[in-house]
Structure 1
Amino acid sequence: MVEQRYCFMDGQLSWVWDGGSLVNQSQTSEAWNECVKLLEGIKIEMKSDAWLWRQDETREVFKVNILRTELDSIQSIPETQVLKWLSWIPKKINCFLWRAVLDRIPTREALVIRNINIPSITCALCGSNAETVDHLLISCQYAQLVWTAISLWVKLPLPRYLLSLVRLLEYIESYCSSEEKRKAIYLVTAATCWTLWRIRNNLIFNQKKTQVSRAVGNVKALSFFMDESKGWKNRSGLEGIE
């Protein structure tokens, strides 16, 4: 500990090093000398320790409420700039998409990272790759079949290089010139991601498979349900989708 490496003698600070081996190599010796020079400029006062944050002259005692104020002042987090909080999308789906963009949904890979013991990290839908957020919702072979059918339905060509949820949402934002069209496509995207997640859970926990055609039908039904639930049918753009 730091307190074991210094002492005060006649009011002067002295550093105490108990290393058992000498520093011989020139590069290591130079680094050691730089470290000692930095420590010589340190002033240690006999008072209680405190958590400090920020840098240079702006350092101050850390408080949770100050951190919260700092976070609230941030305009947006880069990953979430692609998100739209649409009132006619259910809150649970809005929150799910938000967590998916931040890679915070409990995929199999995420569970293993959190030291949760599971039999396999392989995707339950395709059985060929590790189950990550982007794989499960975008690049999985099963998901690709669903997205192909949905893209034809909404008349939105999807390039093959779109292999992440963030890139997909960015593409929708840049491709659609009409605000109503963007909202409609975003709604369908949210419905598709939510449907894929539920299909995955139904397969894992209930051992029930869902055909791609049925999955596409569920996406369409959920999209129209969300579109009509708030009386937005004439504004969101789904009315023009056949």
Structure 2
Amino acid sequence: MGCGNKIFFWLDKWAGDYSLKEQFPSLFALQSDKRCLVQHRYILSDGHIHWTWGGESPITLSETARMWEDCVNRLENVQLNKKSDQWLWKQDENREEFRVGNLRSELDGISMLPETHVLRWLSRIPKKINCFLWRAVLDRIPTRDALVIRNTHIPSVLCVLCNTRNESMDHLLISCQYAQLVWTTISLWVKIPLPRYLLSVVGLLEYIEAHSSSQDKKKVVYLIIAATCWTLWRIRNNVIFNCKTTHVSRAVGDIKVLSFLWVKARAGKTDLDWKECGEFSCFK
């Protein structure tokens, strides 16, 4: 606590383990400015702190006046100074001012789930697609296998794209015959041959991370992988909900269009020409 210029008088926990809103709900209900700051509710005079009601409605009832007196008594031990308020947090047993950079360093030191080390959060990919790929890596998308595990009644657990194997996340996005044809074409486009033993999204991302030469190419290929997984998921949903199938060539075309639009609009490459999209080098 400094001068109270960043702390809400009623809403924050600054005078005990509970906020004043929770300690004195009747007083809070009478307040017109419920988001007032601490510095708006006191006056310093000769080194003494005088707390002010500040509400538009004056305190008239004796019961309300007693509650306000109790509230003021609760604030007797609060110390104020002329410095700005600071948010402190505990790190390595030392309290220090909160900074986003320090929080990022702390999070980077936490061991993640083994599967998530392959994920990148790229600004050039829409947030919805970043979240989708994250959920796919953790096997948290509602495939037919996942729905059965959740005791959801469905007519069949077979993959709607090949009708030969159960529709798990890795099967749908990687090992399905339809998906394999799409990935084969995509691998030729990005000029990275994909081995047959890749059977999971995590394995695919690990392979790309290990075999791409530069960081820029890794980011672009990651973007294309995200576009491919998202397109396969949309095709699957289109078959289930609209009874419409998509030819492999059309799927590949949709992936290229998505990749082109994301790089052009979100990566700032406004000079990117669609006519050159057939050559993967134009994305670099």
Asked if TM exceeds 0.5, the reply is yes
Structure whose alpha-carbon radius of gyration is higher: 2
The letter for the 2-side match of 1:170 is E
Judged with a 3 Å threshold, the aligned counterparts in structure 2 of structure 1 residues 241 and 227 are, in CA distance, closer, same or farther, namely closer
Partner of 1:172: 208
CA distance in 1, matches of 2:165, 2:107: 36
Cα displacement (A) at 1:71: 9.1
Match of 1:77 among 98, 113, 126: 113
Judged with a 3 Å threshold, the aligned counterparts in structure 2 of structure 1 residues 120 and 216 are, in CA distance, closer, same or farther, namely same
Matched, 1:124 2:160: yes
Count of residue pairs brought into register by the alignment: 172
Q: Which has the higher contact order (CA 8 A, sep 6+)?
A: 1
Partner of 2:254: 218
Q: How does 1:82-231 map to 2 (within 5 A)?
A: 82-231=118-267
CA distance in 2, matches of 1:174, 1:155: 14
The letter for the 2-side match of 1:84 is R
Cα displacement (A) at 1:72: 9.4
Question: What TM-score do the two structures reach when normalised by structure 1?
Answer: 0.67
Identity %: 67
Structure 2 residue ranges without an equivalent (≥5): 1-105, 273-278
Q: Which has the higher helix share?
A: 1
Cα displacement (A) at 1:231: 3.4
CA RMSD in angstroms, aligned pairs only: 2.3
The letter for the 1-side match of 2:195 is P
CA distance in 2, matches of 1:76, 1:232: 31
Cα displacement (A) at 1:229: 1.4
Q: How does 1:2-13 map to 2 (within 5 A)?
A: none
The letter for the 1-side match of 2:240 is I
What per-residue deviation string (whole Å, max 9, x for no partner) do you get for residues 162-195 of structure 1?
Answer: 0110000000000012000000100000000000
Q: Secondary structure at the match of 2:165?
A: coil
Cα displacement (A) at 1:239: 4.9
Q: Secondary structure at the match of 1:220?
A: helix
The letter for the 2-side match of 1:240 is C
What per-residue deviation string (whole Å, max 9, x for no partner) do you get for residues 39-83 of structure 1?
Answer: xxxxxxxxxxxxxxxxxxxxxxxxxxxxxxx99973422110000
CA distance in 1, matches of 2:120, 2:157: 31
Is the 8 Å Cα contact of residues 224 and 238 (structure 1) preserved in structure 2? no
Is the 8 Å Cα contact of residues 123 and 130 (structure 1) preserved in structure 2? yes
Is the 8 Å Cα contact of residues 263 and 283 (structure 2) preserved in structure 1? no
What per-residue deviation string (whole Å, max 9, x for no partner) do you get for residues 78-132 of structure 1?
Answer: 1100000000100110000000000000000000000000001000000000000
The letter for the 1-side match of 2:243 is Q
CA distance in 1, matches of 2:213, 2:197: 21
CA distance in 2, matches of 1:114, 1:72: 33
The letter for the 1-side match of 2:128 is K
Q: How does 1:21-100 map to 2 (within 5 A)?
A: 74-100=110-136
